[in-house]
C-alpha cells in the first residue's frame, strides 16, 4: 500500500500509520479511500491481528479531510452516465467513503484512533468510525466538520455519528457552522475518550485495544439510546422545531447544505444506522450538485488556496523579502497596517503630521497586543517584541532603508502627492511605493512620483487585522517587478492578494459601491428603510445597504463623490438620492456609526434604531413588502453588483474570475452562498442573467444594462470560468 503502513506488535496490535507520500498533510484522495478497504481486509482476515490503532505519520496533523481539489474537479460523481445508470454510479461513488468507514467499524476487532494532530472533515469522520479515540493534549489541535463552510455536508458519517455521541442539540453548531473543538472540549462532549500527552497517544490507544477493546460501536448495541432523545420525543421534537426557526433566521434559506444537514440528522436518527448512512449519502449528493456548493468549493477553498500561494505573481522576478516598511498616515488604516506588519516580523515606521497622532496610531497595536496577552494567545515577551518593531514618528528621514512604503493618508489627491514626494526622497531605487487609496486612480496619483514604474496600489480593507484581502492595483506604468514585490509583501503579512488594473474605484470599491447606492436608489424611490435593510441582509450580505453606508461613513462617501464630480466634470451624473446624503452630511452632520448618527441612531446603551427623521428626507411610499417585491429587491441588490463585475471584465479592470469572486467575498462580503458575483452569473447562466438585467434596465435605468461582453457570452453559451479561467488562459 502507498498511503498506509501496517506494523503488528507482539501483542497482536496492528499500528496503521496513515502517511500520504509527497504531501505535507494527509487528505482522503481516491487512492486513500481504496486503500482503506485494503486495510480493513487485512485487519479482518489476519488472525495474528487482535485489534488496531490508526495514527498519522505526519507531524502536521492527523488528516485534513477530503481532497476538495479532486472533488471539485471530478466533473460529477455519475461519470457522465445517463439516467438511472448515472444516479446509481453517483450514489456508489458518493457512498464509497461511508462504506469504507462502516467496514472498519464492523470489522469485528477493536479499532482505536490515536489522533496526534488536527482532524478535519473526513479526517475526523474516520476517527468517529473507530471504537475508541485518544487525542494529544495540545490546545492547538482542532477537531471539526467544516464542510458547511464550503457549501457541503459531512458525507462520511459525520451527520450520524456526532449526534449519536453528543446529542442533536449539542452537535448542531459543529455540523451547521463547522465549529471546531479543542481536545478538552472534545473530551467533555464525549467525542473522544482520552486526552494524553502527545508522546503517549499511540501507547494509550494500544492499551485500550489490549485491555478493554470492544469491537462494537455504541449505536450498534441493542441498549443504545440517542442522547437527548430523537425527533419524536418531547425534548427532541423541540430541538428540531426551534432548530429550523433558528436556521431560517441565520441563513435566510440561502444555504442548501445547512438545510440538508438538518434533514439528514432528522431522518437518520429515526432509522437503523446503515440506513442512516445511506440517507446521509443521498443528501450529500443532492447538496454537492447545487450551484451553491460548486461555487463555494471553487471560491472559498480551491481559488482561495491558489491565490494565497501567489498564483498571480510574475514568475521571472526573484523573491523579494520585505524587512522594513514605512507607513504614511497613522489613522485607523495606517495603524492597522503597521500592526499586521509587526506581527509578520517587519520593522514598521509609522509617520503622521504630529507625534501625538503617530503615538495614537501605535496605541492601536498596543491595545490588540494587550488583549492577545490577556487571553493567553501571546506571551508578554512576544507582545513587547512586536510593539518594538513599530516606530511612531513625524521624521521622514526614518523612511531611509525601507523596502516598501504604504501611503495611507486621506483620499485627497494633493495630500497624497505631498507625502509621496517626501517619502520618495528617502527611498532606495529598489524600493516600492504603494498607495492605499480605495478609489483614486493609481495612474493619476503616480504623476506625483519620480518613479512611476515602482508606484502601485496596495488597497487594504478595514479593520486591517481582521480583513484577509489586499487589492493590488497596476497603474499604466507599473512594472511587473513592482507587482511581484508587492505580492511577496502581501503574502508575508498573511493576506490574500488579488491583482486588478487601474480605474476609478478599481474593482472592489467600484462594485461594493453599487450595493450601497442601489439601497439609496430604493430609499429615494420611497421604499421603507426597514424593508431595504431586512431584504439586504436576506440576500446573504453581511448588512443591509443603509447599515453598510453608516459603517463605511456617510461623510467619506460624500467626499469621494465630490472628488469624482470634480474629476469627471460634465460627465458626472447626479443621482436622485444625492440631496438626501448632502443634507445628512453637510447640514445635519450625520456621518454614520462613527459619530453615533446616520441612517440609524446609535445610543450608548442599547441597539441601533432607524433615525426617525429619515422619513422627512425620504418620504415612505411603500411600507409593506409582498413576496414579489422582496424577490425584486433581492435581485436588484445582487444583480447590480454582478453586472458591475461583468463590466470590470469587459474593461479589463479584472481578468481572472478567481480573483473577482474571492475579492468580492473577502473584500466587501458579497453573499458567500453564491461563490461570488462571477459564479452567480455562471450559475444562473449568461442568457438568463442578461434577460433579467434587460428587464431591470427597462424599469430602473441603464445601470442594469448588460455590457456587450455579457451579450456575446449569452449568445455563445459561455461562462466566465470557461472563457477567462486558468485553463482557458493556458490554452490561449
Catalytic annotation, residues: 459
- Residue 306 C-alpha cell reads as 491558489
Residues 6+ apart with CB under 8 A from 611: 590, 597, 598, 599, 600, 601
The secondary structure element, H or E, covering residue 480 is: helix 480-492
3-state secondary structure of 586: helix
The secondary structure element, H or E, covering residue 324 is: strand 324-328
Q: How far is CA 683 from CA 24, 356, 689, in A?
A: 34, 52, 9
Closest by Cα among 95, 271, 291 to 87 = 95
Cα–Cα dist 126/114, whole Å: 11
Cα–Cα dist 152/574, whole Å: 44
The secondary structure element, H or E, covering residue 279 is: helix 273-288
- Residue 617 C-alpha cell reads as 428626507
Q: Are strands 600-601 and 609-610 parallel, antiparallel or unpaired?
A: antiparallel
Q: In what order do the strands lie in the sheet with 390-393?
A: 390-393, 347-351, 324-328, 404-407, 432-435, 455-459, 469-474, 496-501
Identify any residues that bridge with 407 across adjacent strands, giving them in sequence order: 328, 435
- Residue 670 C-alpha cell reads as 458579497
Closest by Cα among 351, 506, 477 to 419 = 351
* DSSP state for residue 541 in the 8-state scheme: -
Write the secondary structure of 87-104 as one string of H (helix), E (strand) and C (coil): HHHHHHHHHHHHHHHHHH
3-state secondary structure of 143: strand
Cα–Cα dist 331/343, whole Å: 18
Contact 481, 431 (CB under 8 A): no
3-state secondary structure of 135: strand
10 Å Cβ neighbour count for 470?
A: 28
Contact 148, 179 (CB under 8 A): no
Amino acid at each position: 500500500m502507498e498511503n498506509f503502513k501496517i506494523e503488528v506488535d507482539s501483542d497482536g496490535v496492528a499500528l496503521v500509520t496513515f502517511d500520504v507520500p509527497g504531501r505535507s498533510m494527509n487528505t482522503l484522495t481516491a487512492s486513500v479511500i481504496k486503500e482503506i478497504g485494503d486495510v480493513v481486509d487485512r485487519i479482518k482476515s489476519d488472525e495474528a491481528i487482535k485489534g488496531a490503532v490508526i495514527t498519522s505519520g505526519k507531524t502536521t496533523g492527523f488528516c485534513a479531510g477530503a481532497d476538495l481539489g479532486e472533488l471539485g474537479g471530478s466533473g460529477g460523481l455519475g461519470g457522465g452516465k445517463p439516467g438511472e445508470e448515472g444516479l446509481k454510479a453517483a450514489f456508489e461513488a458518493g457512498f464509497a467513503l461511508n462504506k469504507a468507514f462502516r467496514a472498519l467499524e464492523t470489522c469485528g476487532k477493536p479499532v482505536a484512533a490515536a489522533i496526534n494532530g488536527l482532524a478535519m472533515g473526513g479526517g475526523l469522520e474516520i476517527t468517529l468510525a473507530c471504537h475508541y479515540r485518544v487525542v494529544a493534549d495540545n490546545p492547538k489541535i482542532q477537531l471539526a466538520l467544516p464542510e458547511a463552510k464550503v457549501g457541503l455536508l459531512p458525507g462520511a458519517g459525520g451527520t450520524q455519528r456526532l449526534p449519536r455521541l453528543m446529542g442533536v442539540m449539542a452537535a448542531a453548531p459543529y455540523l451547521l457552522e463547522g465549529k471546531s473543538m479543542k481536545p478538552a472540549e472534545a473530551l467533555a462532549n464525549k467525542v473522544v475518550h482520552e486526552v494524553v500527552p502527545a508522546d503517549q497517544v499511540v501507547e494509550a490507544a494500544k492499551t485500550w485495544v489490549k485491555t478493554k477493546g470492544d469491537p462494537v460501536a455504541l449505536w450498534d448495541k441493542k441498549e443504545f439510546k440517542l442522547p437527548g432523545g430523537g425527533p419524536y420525543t418531547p425534548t427532541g421534537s423541540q430541538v428540531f422545531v426551534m432548530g429550523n426557526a433558528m436556521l431560517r433566521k441565520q441563513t435566510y434559506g440561502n444555504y442548501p447544505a445547512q438545510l440538508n444537514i438538518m434533514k439528514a440528522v432528522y431522518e437518520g436518527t429515526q432509522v437503523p444506522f446503515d440506513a442512516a448512512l445511506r440517507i446521509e449519502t443521498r443528501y450529500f449528493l443532492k447538496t454537492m450538485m447545487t450551484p451553491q456548493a460548486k461555487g463555494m468549493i471553487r471560491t472559498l477553498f480551491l481559488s482561495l488556496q491558489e491565490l494565497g500561494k501567489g498564483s498571480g505573481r510574475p514568475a521571472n522576478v526573484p523573491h523579494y523579502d520585505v524587512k522594513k516598511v514605512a507607513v504614511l498616515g497613522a489613522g485607523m488604516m495606517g495603524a492597522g497596517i503597521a500592526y499586521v506588519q509587526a506581527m509578520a516580523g517587519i520593522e514598521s515606521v509609522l509617520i503622521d503630521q504630529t507625534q501625538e497622532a503617530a503615538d495614537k496610531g501605535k496605541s492601536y497595536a498596543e491595545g490588540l497586543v494587550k488583549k492577545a496577552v490577556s487571553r493567553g494567545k501571546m506571551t508578554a515577551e512576544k507582545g513587547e517584541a512586536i510593539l518594538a518593531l513599530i516606530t511612531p514618528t513625524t521624521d521622514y528621514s526614518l523612511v531611509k532603508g525601507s523596502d516598501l512604503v504604504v501611503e495611507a493618508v486621506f483620499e485627497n489627491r494633493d495630500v497624497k502627492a505631498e507625502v509621496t514626494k517626501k517619502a520618495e526622497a528617502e527611498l532606495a531605487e529598489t524600493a516600492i511605493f504603494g498607495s492605499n487609496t480605495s478609489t483614486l486612480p493609481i495612474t493619476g496619483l503616480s504623476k506625483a512620483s519620480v518613479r512611476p514604474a515602482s508606484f502601485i496600489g496596495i488597497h487594504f480593507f478595514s479593520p486591517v487585522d481582521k480583513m484577509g484581502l489586499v487589492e493590488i492595483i497596476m497603474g499604466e506604468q507599473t512594472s511587473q517587478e513592482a507587482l511581484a514585490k508587492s505580492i511577496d509583501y502581501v503574502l508575508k503579512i498573511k493576506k490574500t492578494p488579488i491583482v486588478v488594473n487601474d480605474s476609478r474605484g478599481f474593482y472592489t470599491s467600484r462594485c461594493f459601491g453599487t450595493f450601497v447606492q442601489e439601497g439609496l436608489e430604493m430609499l429615494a424611490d420611497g421604499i421603507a428603510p426597514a424593508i431595504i435593510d431586512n431584504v439586504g441582509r436576506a440576500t446573504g450580505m453581511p448588512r443591509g445597504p443603509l447599515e453598510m453606508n453608516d459603517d463605511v461613513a456617510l461623510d467619506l462617501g460624500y467626499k469621494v463623490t465630490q472628488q469624482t464630480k470634480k474629476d469627471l466634470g460634465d460627465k458626472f451624473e447626479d443621482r436622485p438620492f444625492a440631496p438626501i446624503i448632502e443634507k445628512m452630511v453637510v447640514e445635519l452632520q450625520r456621518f454614520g456609526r462613527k459619530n453615533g448618527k446616520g441612517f440609524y441612531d446609535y445610543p450608548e446603551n442599547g441597539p441601533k434604531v432607524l433615525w426617525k427623521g429619515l422619513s422627512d428626507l425620504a418620504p415612505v411610499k411603500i411600507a409593506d413588502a409582498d413576496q414579489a417585491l422582496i424577490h425584486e429587491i433581492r435581485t436588484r441588490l445582487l444583480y447590480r453588483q454582478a453586472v458591475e463585475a461583468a463590466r470590470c471584465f469587459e474593461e479589463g479592470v479584472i481578468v481572472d474570475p478567481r480573483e473577482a469572486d474571492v475579492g468580492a467575498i473577502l473584500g466587501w462580503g458579497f453573499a458567500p452562498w453564491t461563490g461570488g458575483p462571477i459564479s452567480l452569473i455562471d450559475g444562473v447562466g449568461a442568457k438568463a442573467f442578461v434577460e433579467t438585467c434587460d428587464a431591470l434596465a427597462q424599469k430602473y435605468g441603464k445601470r442594469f444594462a448588460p455590457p456587450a461582453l455579457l451579450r456575446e457570452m449569452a449568445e455563445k453559451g459561455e461562462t466566465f470560468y470557461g472563457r477567462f479561467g486558468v485553463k482557458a488562459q493556458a490554452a490561449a
